[in-house]
Amino acid sequence: MRVRRALYLTVDRQLIAQKVLGLRTPATTLTPPEVKGFSATTFDELQKPMSERVAMAKALLKQAGYDASHPLRFELFYNKYDLHEKTAIALSSEWKKWLGAQVTLRTMEWKTYLDARRAGDFMLSRQSWDATYNDASSFLNTAQKR
């Protein structure tokens, strides 16, 4: 959990939303504000300046056994799509800059990607979701363990 939280803390959502995806609003909540019955609950940590978030993330990585002499190394995999590749490049660049993480990017065709995910053959996976209906459960149910 420490490593995942450190990665989460050091994602520059503003950069990715505006520069990579061409959107105006970064994702800082579990569901988009347009969802019926939406009540904005932004995670407090995301309101902190990046410098504080980086310090928190580095402390978490240190607790998990990672530092400059033992850097975090992992593979980020995603399915082939231009925006997914740009997002993966931006994420890996941010994690290298803030945490010294060494991220290997691995792309694959959609079917192979799904098979690898089902088999658990990955370290970290990029995923997005578009709701099929205007209800929070359309987003939140995807996080349930099956």
Question: What DSSP assignment string belongs to 5-17?
Answer: HHHHHT--HHHII
- Only one residue has tokens 């992992």, namely 74
Give CA–CA dist 110/35, Å, rounded.
27
pLDDT band (50, 70, 90) for residue 3: very high
In the chain, the percentage of residues whose pLDDT exceeds 90 is: 47
Q: Give the 3-state secondary structure of residue 107.
A: strand
Give CA–CA dist 34/32, Å, rounded.
5
pLDDT tens by residue, 10-25: 999 888 988 988 877 7
DSSP classification of residue 132 = S
Name all domains of the chain by residue range, CATH numbers in brackets. 2-143 (3.10.105.10)
- Average pLDDT of the residues of the chain: 86
Which of 32, 142, 127, 24 is CA-nearest to residue 81? 127
Mean pLDDT of 81-110: 94
* pTM for the structure as a whole: 0.82
Contacts of 58 (CB under 8 A, 6+ apart): 6, 99
Q: How far separated are the first and last CA of the chain, in Å rounded?
A: 20
Q: Which residues pair with 124 in a beta bridge?
A: 76
pLDDT tens by residue, 90-99: 999 999 999 9
| C-alpha R_g of the chain | 16
Q: Give the 3-state secondary structure of residue 102.
A: strand
Whole-number pLDDT of residue 146: 57
Give CA–CA dist 92/104, Å, rounded.
8
Check if the beta carbon of residue 66 is closer than 8 Å to that of residue 72: yes
